[in-house]
Amino acid sequence: MRKKLFLIIEPEDGNNKLSAVYDFIMMATIVVSVIPLAFKQTNVVFQWIDYITVGIFVLDYILRIITADYKLNKSVLSFFVYPFTPMAIIDLIAILPSLTVLGSGLRLLKLFRLFRTLKVFRMFKFLRYSKSFDIIISTFKKQKKVLSAVATLAVAYILISALVIYNVEPDSFATFFDAIYWATISLTTVGYGDIYPVTPIGRVVTMVSSVFGIAVIALPSGVITAGYLAEINEDE
């Protein structure tokens, strides 16, 4: 019985119709559950949406726990390890805000917006039912050495740029963190304009920083795109 449940609740593989139906129901539940977050005011309909959807999430969470040994293949230990896996934590975070009792004191009432915001984590449950996400994860695993090198380059670039601008134009940057913030914005070429250099040499540093930033940002984009296409071709 538990084996049949496990084959149903796992992402659909194309051969199990019940699994496909279960995936569709869960994805629809996730979408419906976040609808109230698009409104500032709540009402009875939104409350019932929350009650019903969180009930489905709780049932899904329980089913995954009681079939954890098929998922992790660690016998009895699976039931203790599974709650600490990334997807199980996301499932729990999606449930807890709706189960929190907020009527026990004013201090808890102040946390209402935080709990309401945490419900956004329900959208991460989509990852469990997405084949594309599996391909992306596989791509990151195979390209992790290259991506790690690019990430190291980006961090070094930000720190060096921050040190340079912080010493070249100290009047425009009150703290070193402001310089790091500026370097990060320059790296991504976003350019909010809230912190910026005003001296000629500072502007030269900004231009150089922005040009190199484009190259640094382009590297991981190319690596991920190539890896993703390769994974798609292998999957076919």
CATH topology assigned to domain 2-129: Four Helix Bundle (Hemerythrin (Met), subunit A) (1.20.120)
Query: Which CATH code for domain 142-235?
Result: 1.10.287.70
Most confident of 10-19, 50-59, 124-133, 214-223: 50-59
pLDDT of residue 128: 67
Render pLDDT for 135-148 as a digit per residue (tens, 0 to 9).
777 777 777 788 88
Give the pLDDT confidence of 170-226 residue by residue, as tens digits.
888 888 888 888 888 888 777 777 788 888 888 888 888 888 878 787 777 777 777
The answer to whether 133 touches 127, Cβ cutoff 8 Å, is yes
Q: What is the DSSP string of 184-227?
A: HHHHTT----SS---SHHHHHHHHHHHHHHHHHHHHHHHHHHHH
pLDDT-above-90 percentage for the chain:
2
- How high is the pLDDT of residue 106? 42
Domains of the chain, by residue range, sit at 2-129, 142-235
Which residues, in sequence order, are CB contacts of 76 under 8 Å at separation 6+?
Answer: 69
Tokens found for residue 140:
């990151």
Residue 167 has pLDDT above 80, yes or no: yes
The pTM score is 0.58
The answer to whether the beta carbons of residues 95 and 105 sit under 8 Å apart is no
The DSSP result for the chain, as a single string, is -HHHHHHHHSPP-SS-HHHHHHHHHHHHHHHHHTGGGG-SS--HHHHHHHHHHHHHHHHHHHHHHHTHHHHH--GGGHHHHGGGSHHHHHHHHHHHHHH---TT-HHHHTTHHHHHHHGGGGGGGGGGG-HHHHHHHHHHHHTHHHHHHHHHHHHHHHHHHHHHHHHH-TTT-SSHHHHHHHHHHHHTT----SS---SHHHHHHHHHHHHHHHHHHHHHHHHHHHHHHHHHHHH-
CA dist 156 and 75 (Å) reads 45
What would the pLDDT profile of 37-83 be if each residue is shown by its tens digit? 777 787 889 889 888 988 998 999 999 898 888 888 878 888 888 88
Average pLDDT, rounded, for the chain: 79
Residue 12 has which token pair? Answer: 């659909």
- Is the separation of the CB atoms in 139 and 227 below 8 Å? yes
The per-residue pLDDT for 170 is 82
Of 79, 74, 90, 95, nearest to 133 by C-alpha is 90
In angstroms and rounded to an integer, the radius of gyration of the C-alpha atoms of the chain is: 24
pLDDT more than 70, % of the chain: 81
Cα-based angle 218, 130, 135 (whole degrees, multiple of 5)? 45
Give yes or no for residue 108 having a pLDDT over 50.
no
pLDDT band at residue 3 using 50, 70 and 90 as cut-offs: confident
